[in-house]
Amino acid sequence: AAPTEGTSAGTDLVLRGLRKSYGSFTAVHDLDLVVPSGSFFALLGPSGCGKTTTLRMVAGLEEPTSGQIMLGGSDVSRLKPYKRPVNTVFQSYALFPHLSIAENVAFGLKRRGKKKVDAEVAAMLELVELSDLAKRRPAQLSGGQQQRVALARALINRPQVLLLDEPLGALDLKLRRQMQLELKHIQTEVGLTFVHVTHDQEEAMTMADTVAVMNKGRIEQMGAPEDLYENPATTFVANFLGQSNLVAGSVVEGGGETVALDVQGTRLTAPRARLATDAPQVWVGVRPEKITLTRAGSPAPSAAAGNLLAGGVVTDISFVGVSTQYVVRMPWGQELSVFLQNTGAHERLVVGDAVDLHWSPDHTFCLDASQDAR
Ligand code: ATP
């Protein structure tokens, strides 16, 4: 029952019409997906959207209702879990408490009848930077260290695809952030395909080359993190990846490279390429960190010139460390969010100040207004 040895070269993971229904409820709807070999792929979505079910089908722990799972060109859909060239790391590390760290890592190789494992185990412990702790038991390790043991234990089997189901979920925030970078580093080093499931958008964006945003059993959008963030295709994706300040508007002139928008009686512009719809009624969006605030009537700083929404009043200010968040109430009653970097370059504003919002048309995106904005 040895997982396939060797490298993962050319072994894309392909899902074709993959579906899972429980009675009349469909948890995963006909998923079509290609995960290129060697990529760090994240399935991102809220609790209950079907991420874990998808991962469990790839691992062979859940039987698909219909559809196919292909690895390296062959259909693995009907293979028993242990016959698939995949390994899973779960949130609960499930290390063997009575075995040392080195023995935990060696476990997969030993089970496959391999005798001389010391060199491989040592190399793997070095990769996850645990060489010094090889003789300890799991209970003598921190959460982050245990997580790295679980990773080493999976990697030593040389799976073609490593599945990670919220592997950092049990760690505190600081350790989590640190492990995200380490995991990414290890993935680059070993060059395996990682499929990572998380509901944490920052985690997915930090680590993955490609992110698929899932909602109610379907993939809403897939792409590079920056691209999804800058060019969301739906309001769900826009809001799941951060704040998006969606204001109702309409396209009033759309012939050329830029489109003219009417937003609450103000004329704004956006690049045509950032219109995710042909519909005339749109949600006009801009990320909070793209906006600059000035006192009412003051000129825009050049980098933020172009789009102007006037008549705001600051209603809340909160310090967030690298930036400060301002909540600004607009004349039509909507509250918008603005992040200003704490570089000392901005004017000091207080609650009650009258302000204008400025940003570049390049940072303006438009979504179909028939979708819910929340
Ligand atoms: P979380 O982040 O909370 O783990 P998830 O996105 O991984 O969420 P899944 O665990 O894949 O979500 O579940 C998807 C949906 O399928 C949920 O609505 C869940 O209630 C349902 N579901 C999962 N397993 C079963 C089951 N055995 N029987 C019935 N419904 C199930």
CATH of the domain at 297: 2.40.50.100
199 and 113 both lie in a single domain: yes
pLDDT category at 218 given cuts 50, 70, 90 is: very high
- Domain boundary residue, one of 199, 230, 261: 230
Ligand 1 nearest-atom number relative to CA 199: 2
- Inside any domain, residue 109: yes
More reliable by pLDDT, 72 or 193: 193
195 and 328 both lie in a single domain: no
More reliable by pLDDT, 285 or 174: 285
261 and 148 both lie in a single domain: no
196 and 282 both lie in a single domain: no
How many angstroms from the chain centroid is the CA of residue 111? Answer: 35
Distance of alpha carbon 14 from alpha carbon 291, whole angstroms: 40
- Ligand 1 binding pocket, CB closer than 6 Å: 22, 25, 27, 45, 47-53, 199
251 and 123 both lie in a single domain: no
Q: Between β-strands 218-223 and 365-368, what pairing exists: parallel, antiparallel or unpaired?
A: unpaired
- What integer pLDDT is reported at residue 7 of this predicted model? 43
Distance of alpha carbon 14 from alpha carbon 247, whole angstroms: 38
Residue 258 has pLDDT above 80, yes or no: yes
Percentage above 70 pLDDT, the chain: 97
- Domain boundary residue, one of 230, 263, 286: 230
What does the pLDDT average to over 236-247?
A: 96
Residue 86 sits at the vertex; the CA angle it makes with 73 and 69, to the nearest 5 degrees, is 40
Residue 3 has pLDDT above 70, yes or no: no
3 alpha carbon to ligand 1 midpoint, in Å?
A: 28
215 and 341 both lie in a single domain: no
- Inside any domain, residue 172: yes
137 and 180 both lie in a single domain: yes
Range of the domain at 152: 13-230
79 and 224 both lie in a single domain: yes
Mutation to probe ligand 1, out of 26, 44, 52 (largest number of atoms < 8 A from CB):
52
Number of structural domains in the chain: 2
